[in-house]
Amino acid sequence: MTHAHTILIVDDDPITRLLLKNMLQSDGYAAISEADSGETALVRLDAQVPDLILLDIQMPGLEGYDVCRIIRETHPSADIPIVMITGTELESDKALTASFEAGATDFISKPIRPLELLARVRTALSIKTARDRLKEELDLRTRAEREKERTIAELREALQTIKTLNGLLPICMSCKKIRDDGGYWSQLESYISDHSGAEFSHSICPECTADYMRKLEAAEKDTS
């Protein structure tokens, strides 16, 4: 079975890198990249963030602790599992404490046993998968909540518009202008447009057309 997870091995010893790579490949992990120093690892992370990092503690230049701290500071939202690897059993207690203080997810000491390594890798990746799913669900819920709030705001605005239009409006009996809350008289269509967003296209109804024609005929007779 081939796994889709990407793994970065960071170790200055090429033999250790090859050993770790072989162990991972035997369990179906194919997307494996390597870095021979902490500095190189950080450059690789700027290009692509892996799903898991196997990080040696003792390296020239930046030690594993330093690399781990920098990763946690520069990629805080990635939640990259980092499994620290130390040299000897005698150093394990001290290294264990320092590793977790630096932000490591897990810890393994040399000599590396395949079953232990693969078990820790599976556990770390399972935790990351669960976190990623939870984050996606929270993002979906957040977007849904924002959409709900936007809809409620639009409904409240519409309700306020309806209340405004359903209220008692002072209207002139002669020119049909409406007096607004500020005491100013506005054309009926202007008032409705301002309070509802409606737009008007002017035309003339049949009754007004007939009345207009009668007045026009009367005017023509008067002038003849």
How far is 99 from 201, CA to CA, in rounded Å? 74
Asked if the structure places residue 157 within a domain, the reply is: no
Phi and psi at residue 108, in whole multiples of 5°? Answer: -145, 145
* Calpha distance 214→117 (Å, rounded): 100
Predicted confidence at residue 120, as pLDDT, reads 93
CA distances from 209 to 37, 72, 111, 188, 212 (A): 90, 79, 101, 20, 5
Domain range spanning residue 68? 3-138
Q: List the CATH number of the domain containing 123.
A: 3.40.50.2300
Distance CA 82, CA 89 (A): 19
Same-domain status, 119 and 211 = no
Domain assignment of residue 155, yes or no = no
pLDDT tens-digit profile, the chain (224 residues):
778 899 999 999 999 999 999 999 999 999 999 999 999 999 999 888 999 999 999 899 999 999 999 999 888 767 899 999 987 655 667 888 888 899 999 999 888 899 999 999 999 999 888 888 888 888 888 888 888 888 888 777 766 766 665 666 677 777 777 777 677 777 767 766 676 666 666 667 778 777 777 877 777 777 66
On whether both 110 and 180 belong to a single domain, the answer is no
Say which residues have a Cβ less than 8 Å from residue 9's Cβ, sequence separation at least 6: 17, 20, 21, 32, 33, 34, 35, 53, 54
Alpha-carbon distances of 149 from 138, 139, 144, 154, rounded to whole Å? 16, 15, 9, 9
Q: How many residues does the chain have?
A: 224
As to burial, measured by CB atoms within 10 angstroms (0-12 exposed, 13-18 middle, 19+ buried), residue 134 is exposed
Residues 115, 87: Cα–Cα separation, whole Å: 18
Residue 54: predicted pLDDT: 97
pTM for the structure as a whole: 0.63
> Is 194 contained in some domain?
yes
121 and 201 assigned to the same domain: no
Residues 60 and 130 in one domain: yes
Shared-domain flag, residues 112 and 178: no
* 118 and 215 belong to one structural domain: no
Rounded Cα distance, 209 and 125, in Å: 79
Of 117, 138, 159, the position where a domain reaches its end is 138
**pLDDT computed for residue 125 by the predictor:** 93
In a domain, residue 15? The reply is yes
